[in-house]
Amino acid sequence: MTLSMRSLGYVLLALLWTATVTVAQQPLPQAPHMGTIMGTVLDVNGGIVPGAAVVLQGADSSDRRVLVTDDAGLFRFDGIRPGGSHRIQVSASGLKSWNSNEIVLKPGQEFIVTGIVLAVAPVETTVDAVTLEEIAVQQVKQEEKQRIGGIIPNFYVSYDHNAVPLTPRLKFQLALKALTDPVTIAGFGLGAGIYQAADYPSYELGAKGYAKRLGATFAGGYTKIMVGDAILPSLLHQDPRYFYQGTGTTGSRLRHALSSAFITKGDDGSREINWSNLGGDLVSGALTNAYYPSKDRGASLVVRSALIGTGGRMALAVFQEFVGHKLTTHVGDGN
């Protein structure tokens, strides 16, 4: 029985490796040359307007995308399909909203919207501004469509440099989306199979032992995501996502990726120690320690689990920075 279960584990590993290589080698579907719409928002005195809400509206209501201007008053919508009719609406607190004329992009065109000047709104005028929470909702909807090779969930990566903070509700929503995804569940099952083949932890073999290993894998994985990506980020006001840099030298991008396991972005935009993910690793390790058979327990298991979690996030961040963007579908295309 031991030999057969180990053989099953090796077969599963071989299948996983083959599937990963196949996905990586397959060319992604050729999309039309997407366009870009960008611009700078100013006030009547020529000053920049950071934090203004910018809405991109296409012919279809599903084409609606929103973001906020950065500290230089700039906005940029990438991945826009050419040919359709688009309009830009800009609004900011205390200022009149501004609407563009119809914009029709050519394939690969970078269209710069000019003349965006927000006048002071009269006291009696009600400004129909887009809230930051609405922008965050739109961003999460986009992230929930991201998949590596169109299959593997890639929800926790933000390719928007101006992404607004997530509310606690959205942090839990994103965690539940990841935990209930069929690919995530299948991954836990495969992990339990690998443990079964390695005869670790020291449960019995057979279906009963696999069920226990599956339970331990689910408990550890679910705790790590729920605590590290939802509960602690909500309590500590930290963002659980990885923010893709994409520009700069290879060294600077590598440092950005590796440091993300220890430094994260606070909801106020500041750089903070990533207590959320570090705490999630420790809680997950402690729960696993309590669940494992007595001979496999100990403080070393908790430490080892936390170190494995941190190292895994570092490796994943490097993958995301240099490879994941090329393999991920529905990045910033609004579809």
Average pLDDT (290-297) is 86
With a cut of 90, say whether residue 6 has pLDDT above it. no
**pLDDT band (50, 70, 90) for residue 128:** low
With a cut of 90, say whether residue 16 has pLDDT above it. no
Question: CB of 15 within 8 A of CB of 89?
Answer: no
Q: What would the pLDDT profile of 318-333 be if each residue is shown by its tens digit?
A: 999 999 999 999 886 5
Angstrom distance (rounded) from CA 43 to CA 73: 10
**177 in the same domain as 254:** yes
With a cut of 50, say whether residue 12 has pLDDT above it. no
With a cut of 50, say whether residue 21 has pLDDT above it. no
Question: CB of 84 within 8 A of CB of 109?
Answer: no
Question: CB of 30 within 8 A of CB of 105?
Answer: no
- pLDDT of 244 reads 95
Residue 334 belongs to some domain of the structure: no
Where among 111, 129, 147 does a domain terminate?
129
Q: What pairing do the DSSP bridges indicate for beta strands 85-92 and 103-104?
A: antiparallel
**pLDDT band (50, 70, 90) for residue 197:** very high
Q: Is 4 exposed, middle or buried (0-12, 13-18, 19+ CB in 10 A)?
A: exposed
Structural domain that includes position 297: 2-25+135-329
**233 in the same domain as 304:** yes
With a cut of 50, say whether residue 250 has pLDDT above it. yes
CATH code for position 52:
2.60.40.10
**pLDDT band (50, 70, 90) for residue 271:** very high
**247 in the same domain as 145:** yes
329 CB neighbour count, 10 Å cutoff? 17
Residue 162 belongs to some domain of the structure: yes
**312 in the same domain as 225:** yes
**195 in the same domain as 48:** no
Mean pLDDT score across all residues of the chain: 86
- pLDDT of 208 reads 92
State the virtual CA torsion across 198, 258, 262, 268 in degrees, nearest 10: -130
With a cut of 70, say whether residue 192 has pLDDT above it. yes
* Domain count across the chain: 2
- Which of 25-39, 180-194, 202-216 has the weakest average pLDDT? 25-39
**276 in the same domain as 199:** yes
Angstrom distance (rounded) from CA 128 to CA 89: 10
Residue 281 belongs to some domain of the structure: yes
**pLDDT band (50, 70, 90) for residue 29:** very low
Where among 100, 129, 158 does a domain terminate?
129
**123 in the same domain as 142:** no
- Which of 90-99, 169-178, 325-334 has the weakest average pLDDT? 325-334
- pLDDT of 15 reads 46
Average pLDDT (92-109) is 91
Where among 87, 113, 129 does a domain terminate?
129
**Four-residue CA torsion sign, 153, 110, 321, 233:** negative
- pLDDT of 134 reads 87
Side-chain half-sphere exposure of 316, counting CA atoms within 13 A: 17
